[in-house]
Amino acid sequence: MDMERAIAVTAFLLVLLLASSQQPADAGVRRRPPTLARHYASLLRRHQQQQRGEASAAAAGGGAAAAVVPSPAVQYETRYYTQRLDHFNAAPGSAATFQQRYLVNGTFWRGATAPIFLYAGNEGDVELFTNNTGLMWEAAPRFGALLVFVEHRYYGESMPFGGARAAAFRDADAKGYLTVTQALADYAALVLSLKANLSAPAAPVVLFGGSYGGMLAAWMRLKYPHIVMGAVASSAPILSFYGLVDPYAFYDRMTHDFKNESQHCYHVLRKSWHVLDAALATSEGSARLKRTFKMCNGSGVVDIPSLLESAVVYAAMTDYPTPSGFLTPLPAYPVREMCRAIDRSGSGSGGGGTDDDDDTLYRVRAAMEVYYNHTGAAACFRGEEDDDPYGMYDGWDWQACTEMVLMTYGLSNDSVLQPPWTFNLTDVLDSCRNDTGVPPRPFWLETQFGGFDIENVLRKSASNIIFFNGLRDPWSTGGVLKSISDSIIALVEPKGSHHVDLRFSSDEDPDWLKQVRAKETRIIARWLKQYYSDEGIAA
């Protein structure tokens, strides 16, 4: 997205993250709540462009190649369920249906009373989460579980109105069926149908989900306790709504991640937005950027701030303790590695350059190399895309502006992203209204599922939920960080990141991560034991 278009758009932008240094203080709301699925779409598109030869052969290895290769353990059958469009209205049009995709693996299932492990699909193609939710695949043999991954309506192939994304998103009337309550009702209807077809009415269902999927998992346990007997809600920011969380907390936590690694790294990044902004304002500065950052054909130096901001935000979210390929090939603890690159780089050979603008640019480029070119195979930086080739952006943009109005907008004076951004709920809601054409409902989910005094709500209304949060993850600022009862359990790991517990295990996993997964497995076993005892079923 070029600079002129970015300034001209008064509503929320269609790009997830736009460079803060290029926005005037009164330009309106800048960014949607960041999600891994959405960022994955941008990186996946970059990789597929390279495969098609749109980038140079040398750059072909610099995309998300590792992210699209599933584990050999991931094998499944694709099925479709005829789902009702509207579960809550008796009007004739409500009886319309669509095909909802779900993926099944029955390799380990021990029969009619064995558990069903169900993944609550979130904002993206269900295969993305199927390929990256290793905890379910690794726990299934122990429990003899059937594995089911359900795709969220309006994502992937699960499109209402004939299966075409254009029809599903043609206007607010069509998009109006994209809500949390409709999605949860989808899952409830599908589970009951599946159990009936399997002649397994007594099979206990344990729900898993990460991020938005984790929110859905927790909410479904609250809403449909007779269908789901337990939920693993990983990195589920169910408190990230207005009045429940500090709107500056998300980026403050991210800032802490970088500042905690290196004060020098933090100060270089803070300075970089001004340096980039000043350079982009002149032809001489743009030429300097061109010399320092090699951009791929079709991308320009105007893309650099957006690329840097994405790298900073998503490195904090995916600050995993082992190398990963979920979004793009990354080293262990990418925040640490980006700061190391900044600290040892500089305009002089071997680092140690003077503290001037050129020095800042060289250090920033080194940090971007860690995030976008960890393998060393890419010859250039490719700008982020602002179209919606995989049906992720349209859905999340709608949800984030109607009821999933998550508080991630404020930038404090000390933020690693600059300039500061004063949070104003009225501005957020006005931008959303302009963008969608419908009034936002920022308090509806708090009304529907509880939010204020969440401890009291969960104690009185819920059981059998695990809330995992890693404190390196900015989303943990909206998570449940304290156990509520013997069965509403918060697992909090200071070194953890965004739903790291759900990832496939590795020999390189630190002891704390092994212990988290072991605790989750023991808790699930306890739930199942109690369920079989209550139902009089031989385990």
Q: Which residues are catalytic?
A: 211, 473, 498
Q: Output the CA torsion 325→330→336→342 (10° steps).
A: -150
- Helices 283-292 and 357-372, packing angle to 10 deg: 40
Number of Cβ within 10 Å of residue 94's Cβ equals 13
Return the structure tokens found at 193.
Answer: 């149908």
Residue type, 312: V
Cβ atoms 480, 238 nearer than 8 A: yes
Residue with tokens 């320009």: 300
Distances (CA, A) of 514 to 24, 464, 492, 506: 46, 21, 13, 9
Cβ atoms 91, 119 nearer than 8 A: no
Q: Output the CA torsion 469→473→475→480 (10° steps).
A: 20
Return the structure tokens found at 302.
Answer: 């105007």
Contacts 24+ apart (CB under 8 A), 275-284: 275/357, 275/360, 275/361, 276/19, 276/21, 276/304, 276/305, 276/308, 276/361, 276/364, 277/21, 277/22, 277/305, 278/357, 279/357, 279/361, 280/3, 280/22, 280/305
What is the C-alpha to C-alpha distance for residues 380 and 92, in angstroms, rounded to an integer?
55
Cβ partners under 8 Å of residue 481, min gap 6: 467, 469, 490, 492
